[in-house]
Amino acid sequence: MKNNTDNKPIVYACSGCSSAAQMTNYLALQLDRKSVAEMSCIVGVGGNVKKLLHTAKSGRPIVVIDGCPLSCAKACLNNHDIQPTHHFELSKFGVAKKYHADFNLEEANKILQTLENCIISGEQKLLQEAQKPKQYKDIEIIEVSTKKQLKAFINFPLELYKGNKYYVPQLYKDIAATFDKNQNPALEFCEAKYWLAYKEGKLAGRIAGIINHKFIAQWQQPYARFGWFDFIEDENTAFALLQAAEKWARAKGMKAVHGPLGFTNFDYAGMLTAGFEELGTFATIYNFPYYPETIQKAGYKKETGWVEYKISLGTQVSEKLQKLAAIVERRLHLTSLKPTTKKEIQPFANNIFNLLNEAYAGLFGMVALNERQIEYNIKKYLSFIKPEFVSLVLDANKELAGFAITMPSLSIALQKSEGKLFPFGFLHIMKAFKKNNTADLLLVAVRKDLQGKGVNAMLMRDINLSFIKNGIAFAESNPELEDNHKVQSMWEYFDARQHKQRACFMKSL
């Protein structure tokens, strides 16, 4: 059995003053000391402590020891949709629940031996099954090695989702640049492999395997990523693709695989789990409902999630929002800059991404952008925006305090152009910029020292005014971490409907 805590089972015990509860803690502690399992805190799971919840949802095997039929420890985990790998209830071992009495040490040690044997044999069996390569005779997996294969990799979703009215193609030019080492600076610290799946000679799926070394160094999590994962409605195709990525990751010394994620936080991420009959956006992944079902059958468990909102805008900014924005403006000596040209935004371009690094630090998987990445993203985003759809807030020293970057929705335009600028795709995009009733919120950030002080109210007021002026009736929030309540609080001033959910899934290797 491995002693590495990345693969070691986590053990939780119930709490209480009875002899049975005391015994559960003794057993959990002994399993930890024997390196059979790593003891963690069930109070943390039941009490929504983020770090402990993250541990519980890491995909490692879970052992639960309950002292009585109430199964309190198991219930706490179930409240967070976490199922134990092993559940031991001491009453089934004949342990009596007594108050004002100590547990029987001899009895406990006999049970300990049984638990230890069950856990070790169970873990070895699970590990052997997970690492045993399965044969999918009708599926051929080919590693991408030519430009022609890469083009097929990029274009596969166009065929898969042909005729689907909710799927929004990604811009081919941007995706091609993402995979180009000469253009994408993230490839300086990321390794990647790409695979295609063929069934009966026909292209049936794709997957990217990624190792972000900066993420591993910062988060101390030797996890590989999978991304750009698409497949026909055939489990074996998906399993074969995932197996290829997992085999590569294991050979590289990785302890887990999670995704769908891109090279960085600014790539496409999160598998759609709800909202399949909602129009996608150009910044997000759309997938069929069979995707999350299949990924879980492959042994993956949810690691984290995102939610999205569709905001209905009225013809006026709410009085409550206007009052709050005015108070914040006056109290914190802030001013709004409402640019009308890209030239007005350019002096703040670097500061926008530096502020974003600061504001997003600590969020799931976030690794700060370096100078080359900032330059890359300035070209990618700021050259492609409508200035009136940007709001900047400055402090008394004219330093950037917060920003919101939005743009007219490109969903319909990209559907019509199939993600291509030429020969006529750019005309659809130009039309979307000129006349549209929907906008996408791309990036919103507030300086750390001003977070929680109402700066968001100023940003939302200014953006709302611009939307009204430009005939925007609806806005898409795009993904927000489901536990990022600060961001979600922005929508209390609007008629907002939470309409989509997505998740990142993980599997231990």
Same domain, 236 and 110: no
Give a yes or no: residue 435 inside a domain: yes
Give a yes or no: residue 114 inside a domain: yes
pLDDT at residue 321 in the model: 95
| Alpha carbon distance 205, 225 (integer Å) | 17
- Identify the DSSP state of 390: E
Same domain, 126 and 163: no
Same domain, 340 and 426: yes
pLDDT at residue 3 in the model: 41
Same domain, 114 and 170: no
Same domain, 406 and 284: no
- Identify the DSSP state of 489: G
For 1, the token pair is 């059995």
Give a yes or no: residue 488 inside a domain: no
CATH number at residue 334: 3.40.630.30
**CA–CA distances in Å: residue 387 to residues 64, 444, 463, 474, 506:** 55, 15, 11, 18, 39
Same domain, 118 and 36: yes
Give a yes or no: residue 481 inside a domain: no
| Alpha carbon distance 326, 195 (integer Å) | 54
Give a yes or no: residue 477 inside a domain: no
pLDDT at residue 145 in the model: 96
For 112, the token pair is 């300990």
Same domain, 282 and 171: yes
Give a yes or no: residue 4 inside a domain: no
How would you write the pLDDT of the chain (509 residues) with one tens digit per residue? 334 455 788 998 887 788 888 999 999 899 889 888 888 886 555 566 777 777 777 778 889 998 877 788 888 888 887 888 888 888 888 888 888 888 899 898 988 988 888 887 776 665 555 556 677 889 999 999 999 999 999 999 999 999 999 999 999 999 999 999 999 999 999 999 999 999 999 999 999 999 999 999 999 999 999 999 999 999 999 999 999 999 999 999 999 999 999 999 999 999 999 999 999 999 999 999 999 999 999 999 999 999 999 999 989 999 999 999 999 999 999 999 999 999 999 999 999 999 999 999 999 999 999 999 999 999 887 777 899 999 999 999 999 999 999 999 999 999 999 999 888 889 999 999 999 999 999 999 999 999 999 999 999 999 999 999 999 999 999 999 999 888 888 898 899 999 999 999 999 99
Same domain, 318 and 466: yes
Q: Which H/E stretch holds residue 377?
A: helix 371-381
| Alpha carbon distance 237, 233 (integer Å) | 8
Range(s) of the domain holding residue 288? 139-303
Same domain, 92 and 206: no
Query: Among 303, 337, 369, where does a domain finish?
Result: 303
Going by C-alpha positions, the residue among 34, 29, 39, 33 that lies closest to residue 9 is 39
Going by C-alpha positions, the residue among 59, 51, 8 that lies closest to residue 301 is 59
Question: What does pTM read for this prediction?
Answer: 0.75
Domain count, the chain: 3
What type of residue sits at position 21? A
| Alpha carbon distance 2, 489 (integer Å) | 44
Query: Among 303, 324, 348, where does a domain finish?
Result: 303
Same domain, 175 and 43: no
Give a yes or no: residue 107 inside a domain: yes
pLDDT at residue 261 in the model: 98
Give a yes or no: residue 174 inside a domain: yes
Half-sphere CA count of 144, side-chain side, radius 13 A? 23
Task: Using DSSP, state whether 264 is helix, strand or coil.
Answer: coil
pLDDT at residue 127 in the model: 54
Query: Among 246, 281, 303, where does a domain finish?
Result: 303
Place of tokens 């100590």: 102
Same domain, 246 and 341: no
What is the DSSP track for 220-231? T--EEEEEEEEE
Same domain, 181 and 270: yes
